[in-house]
Every structure is written in C-alpha cells, then in structure tokens.
Amino acid sequence: MNIKQVILKAFHDHPGRFISGEELSQTCGCSRTAVWKHIEELRKDGYEVEAVRKSGYRLLGAPDRLSAAEITAGLDTDRMGQHVIAHDEVVSTQPLAHEAAARGAKEGTLVLAELQTGGKGRLGRPWHSPKGTGIWMSLIIRPAIPLPKTPQMTLLTAVSVARAIREETGLPVKIKWPNDIFIGDKKVCGILTELNAESDRVNYLVIGIGLNANSVAEDFPEELARIATSLRIESGEPIKRARFIQQFCRIFEEEYDHYLAHGFARAKAEWEKHSYTIGRWVNVQTISQRLEGRAVGLDEEGVLMVEDQDGAIHKVYSADVNY
C-alpha cells in the first residue's frame, strides 16, 4: 500500500472521526509534513478532507471514482480485490486481465476501467460501456477444479452479484440462465467468463462483469433502452460504485471459499431460488440445435435441464435462451 492508500484506509477505519496528524504520521511511517502533502493530493483527487487545528483530519466525502486506493481502503477480504489495476479508458478489461494473469497476477486481481471503447459481451456481441456510469471489471481467479466444472464459476458469480445488489439496494433481482442479472424484464448486469487451460488443467479464469450502476435512461442508445436498466433507474438513487465492488468482493470470496470447500450445492440452490429461468417455457438455440421446453432446474454440474413436450430432459451447456 502507498501512503495515500494507508491514509484512506485509516479514514475508512475511523468513519466520521478526526485522526490527528501525529497518529497518521505514525500509521504511515512518514513525517506530518508528508501526511499534509498527501492529504493535499487526496483533495486534488476529489476527496473532501476537513482539517482542524488540534483535532487533525476528517474525511467528509469521497469521489465516485474507481481508483485502486478507493477500492482497497474499505475492503474486507483476503484475496478478492486486494490487487486492483484501474484504468480511465481501455478497449476492454478482458484482454488486459488475460495479460495480467499470464504475467502471474494473483488470484482476486481486479482490472477495471471507467470507460471501455470496445466492451465485449457474450457470443461476440458488443457491451455498451460509457464513461463513469457503470462497473466494468474483470476478475482473475485460479480455482483448482476440473475443466467441465468451470461453467459453475459463472453461476457462482451471478449468485454473488445478485446477492450484492439485493444487500446494497434491496432491489428484487433475478438471474437469467446462465449469466444475466435482471430487474423486472430488463437486464442490469452481464457476465462473460473466459478460460485459459491446458489439456484438463485450468490455469485461470477471467470473469468479466458489466453492471449498469448509475446510468440514467438517456445513457442507453435506443435499441438498449427497451431491454436494459440500471440500479439507479430502478432504485431512484445513485450507488457508490467503489463500495459496491467491495461488497461484491466480500460476497464472492465467501461463496467461492464455500464452493471450494463444500462444492456447488449451495450456489445451485441460491441460483435456483433467484432464477428468472426455472419454470418458464423457453426457446433454446445452441450451435447445432433448436429446442423448446420448460426449464426445470440445474443438474449437479450447473447445466440447465429443459423438459420438452414429450417429457424428455435435455441438458443445455451453452446456448442463447429466449422466453
């Protein structure tokens, strides 16, 4: 952690309280003058810091910027989000996360950006990622699991995002198989999981999460406005994106550790409980097949089971599912 990060963490650990210059200089291992200089830098970054003689410094407001310092300051995890690579503008965070992972980035590393000029969605679709309104991030994980189980990571992520949205906003979110988060009949978040593996050994996964956080209706182009929404549109209030990421990291780490220790059952139950898909009549388009039937559940591996009109159960691994 650099000195700015240490100061932000100290403010975060003492919400609403003054911290003396002396205490900060001891925590940071630097002089009081150096503390003051870093406070000035924080102010330039948009932090509102009150300074009162004899009392010290107090944080009054933080900017809604996705900096590494802002995210790590309030983070309650061992691994997830402990390393953050934050950019202003990128083509897509996905290839950057692959590069970081190939260079040995630790599990839990987050690559994020305020703006993506070429955001990628599933099935080669573009992902609309305008500046400052959303959470566009890629998470690197290195689970020691066999290759066929990797789709479970997408479901685990969907369950974690959905839980974070519920806990932070109280909004009633649903998960559409395999990886879309819906509020009502509009999509608020998409997940794109990419894999790097050799034979049947998983090297790492890059989980891309695109969450429409603070977009207002005008931020969506016409073709998206009918089918997409944001947390702000639904709740009527902007969210603090850095806080949301911290909460997501905490929840994901908890779900992931439970998964590694005890398996998929809990995430499967949670996914089914909040599913938009189960019980519906669906049209399934795989690369080779078209199928209609009722989505009846996930199997133990996380594969969607669809029962056709003759009562035959079909397992759907990868497809577009429509209703």
116 is annotated as contributing to ligand binding: yes
Closer CB to ligand BTN, 25 or 286, in the complex: 286
Q: How many residues bind ligand BTN (CB under 6 A)?
A: 21
Nearest approach, Cβ of residue 146 and ligand BTN (Å): 24
Shortest Å distance, C-beta 250 to ligand BTN:
20
Q: Least Å distance between CB 217 and ligand BTN?
A: 20
Coil, strand or helix: which one is 222? helix
94 touching ligand BTN, by CB under 6 A:
yes
Q: Which of residues 208-227 bind ligand BTN (CB under 6 A)?
A: 208-210
Q: Give the residue among 311, 313, 320 at the shortest CA–CA distance from 288.
A: 320
The residue number with the shortest CB distance to ligand BTN is: 190
Residues 160-199 that bind ligand BTN (CB under 6 A): 180, 190-192
Residues 306 and 320: beta-carbon distance below 8 Å: no
d(CA 228, CA 226): 6
Question: Is 82 annotated in some ligand binding site?
Answer: no
Residues 103-142, mask of contacts with ligand BTN (x by CB under 6 A): -------------x--xxxx--x-x-x------xxx----
Q: Is 151 in the site for ligand BTN (CB under 6 A)?
A: no
Q: Long-range contacts made by residues 236-242, C-beta under 8 angstroms, separation at least 24?
A: 238/64, 238/213, 238/214, 239/168, 239/169, 239/213, 239/214, 240/62, 240/64, 241/64, 241/66, 241/134, 241/135, 241/213, 241/214, 242/62, 242/64, 242/65, 242/66, 242/67, 242/70, 242/71, 242/74
Question: Where along the sequence are the contacts to ligand BTN (CB under 6 A)?
Answer: 92-94, 116, 119-122, 125, 127, 129, 136-138, 180, 190-192, 208-210
Residue set of the binding site for biotin: 116, 187
Binding-site positions? 116, 187
